Amino acid sequence: MTGPLHLVLDARYVRVGPHDGISRYSAGLAHGLAQLAAQDPWLRVELMISDQAQLQHLPRLEWFMGPDPVSAGELLTSRLLNRRGPDVVFSPMQTMGALRRRFGLILTLHDLIYYDHPSPPPELPLPVRLGWRAFHRASWPQRLALNRADAVATVSQTSAGLIQGRRLSDRPVRVIPNAAAQDSIVSEQTALQRLDERDDSMVYLGSFMPYKDVETLARMAARLPHRRLHLLSRVTPAQQERLVQAAGPEARLVFHNGVSEQEHARLLARAGVLLHASRAEGYGLPLMEAFCAGTPVVCTDIPIFHEVCGRAAAYCPAGDDAAFARAVTELEDPQVARARVLAGLERAASWTWRDSAESLVELAREIERSRRP
């Protein structure tokens, strides 16, 4: 018989402005858990936030304030949580303070990108960047962090295999995947109508970190001078200059330097293709967002993208701008484009945030039972 479960979701990584990957993951799980809690009287879900403005992205659930997760107060987070008395706490990161905790704990490691590509995001403060590099130069700091938990969550089978292969934790590793927001998936009729109305624009949504290899897309744009490449995310002057140099004078690059959710949706609905040349990912949410919008996808031929996209995308060798250009050109065949769009819609509908929330609750109940006296 199912007993009561008090679960806290650490929602402090939800961004006040537009989502990034971890923000969207946190909010998606929160909405999935809210659906489950509305139908299960034994399930109590609370959200821990650090800024009340985060609530704009979150469902109506009980909430309480916690410390900023990148402040010194993070060291005392477990003391606050002990007072609230949850059975299990889920964090979408692996760094939550857990000293003398009296609750079950699930920590999340999304990917292992920074072991192979250790450069930290440039917007982080210098002390954080230095710590970031030191943390990813060896496996033991990550192992120490993850072994504080009762279980480790990750977002894909690919990442789970890498975590186990590197022996980063002695704890069970469970996949709690990313998902598409079902209300964002357009109908087949709308997708096919959009296909007839799409223009020649190409869209990239993602950061400009070196492992994203946006230079390959810039060089590809020079091979397709009749098409514009829209780069949606925030970009530094140095990053922009590097891409302009890589592309040369023939390419038509459009730097948006950040867009609203509405502008993002508008550009995705009109674009002929979404591109992703990354050499490593934990999941690849922009690809799923493209499927929801009925937008064809061309991406790198790496295992995680095959796991996410299946037969719904065209795959190109990493760094091969000529192959990317050929794959984009293939979409000018209406039958090719139609098949990809329909396969993408099917892929987007195959897993929901409610499904992921059910996986999380199942794991939380296992931990709660294992901790009983």
Tens-digit pLDDT profile for residues 208-223: 988 999 999 999 999 9
**Collapsed DSSP state (helix, strand, coil) of residue 153:** strand
- Taking alpha carbons only, the member of 30, 180, 169, 163 closest to residue 92 is 30
- Check whether residue 194 and residue 151 sit in a common domain: no
299 and 357 part of one domain = no
Spatial separation of the C-alpha atoms in residues 75 and 132, rounded to whole Å: 18
DSSP structure class, residue 352: B
HSE of 205, CA atoms in CB hemisphere, 13 A: 24
135 and 49 within one domain: yes
Does 186 share its domain with 139? no
231 and 160 fall within a common domain: no
**Residue 165 to residues 5, 139, 193, 280, 309, Cα–Cα distance (Å):** 32, 12, 45, 16, 23
In single-letter form, the type of residue at position 248 comes to G
Q: What is the mean pLDDT of the chain?
A: 91
At 117 the pLDDT is: 67
Give the model's pLDDT for residue 19.
Answer: 75
- Split at pLDDT 50, 70, 90, the class of 115 is confident
Mean pLDDT computed over 98-110: 93
Same domain, 257 and 290: yes
d(CA 363, CA 369): 10
Q: Does 265 share its domain with 319?
A: yes
The amino acid that residue 13 corresponds to is Y
Calpha distance 197→77 (Å, rounded): 51
Contacts for 357 with CB less than 8 Å, ≥ 6 apart: 29, 32, 33, 35, 36
Does residue 150 sit in the same domain as residue 79? yes
Q: How far apart are CA 89 and CA 69, in angstroms?
A: 15
pLDDT of residue 123: 59
Residue 137: which pLDDT band, with cuts at 50, 70 and 90? Answer: low
- What is the average pLDDT across 335-356? 95
What is the spatial distance between Cα 20 and Cα 171, in angstroms, rounded to a whole number? 27
128 pLDDT tier (thresholds 50, 70, 90): low
156 pLDDT band, cuts 50/70/90, is: very high
Question: 315 - beta bridge partners?
Answer: 299
298-303 average pLDDT score? 97
Please state the domain count of the chain: 2
8 A C-beta contact, residue 96 and residue 69:
yes
Summarised one tens digit per residue, pLDDT across range 239-265 is 999 999 999 999 999 999 988 888 989
CA nearest 183: which of 287, 24, 292, 33? 292
The rounded percent of the chain whose pLDDT value lies above 90 is 73
For residue 276, count CB atoms less than 10 angstroms from its CB and return exposed for 0-12, middle for 13-18, buried for 19 or more.
Answer: buried
DSSP assignment of 261-281: HHHHHHHHHH-SEEEE--S--
| DSSP E strand stretches across 197-246 | 202-204, 228-231
Report the CATH number at residue 84.
3.40.50.2000
**Best-predicted range by mean pLDDT among 136-150, 182-196, 214-228?**
214-228
Looking at the fold, whether 202 and 342 belong to one and the same domain comes out as: yes
Q: Residue 1 pLDDT more than 60?
A: no
- Are 172 and 306 part of one and the same domain? no
Residue 39 pLDDT greater than 80, yes or no: yes
Q: Token digits for 38?
A: 């509305």
Residue 86 · residue 103 · CB < 8 Å: yes
- Expressed as residue numbers, the domain containing 314 is 182-348
Same domain, 232 and 96: no
Asked if 74 and 89 sit in the same domain, the reply is yes
pTM above 0.95, yes or no: no
Q: Can you list the alpha helix ranges (DSSP code H) found in 166-230?
A: 188-197, 214-223
Asked if pLDDT for residue 118 goes beyond 70, the answer is no
Q: Which of 212, 219, 247 is nearest to 233 (CA)?
A: 212
Name residue 238's beta-bridge partners: none
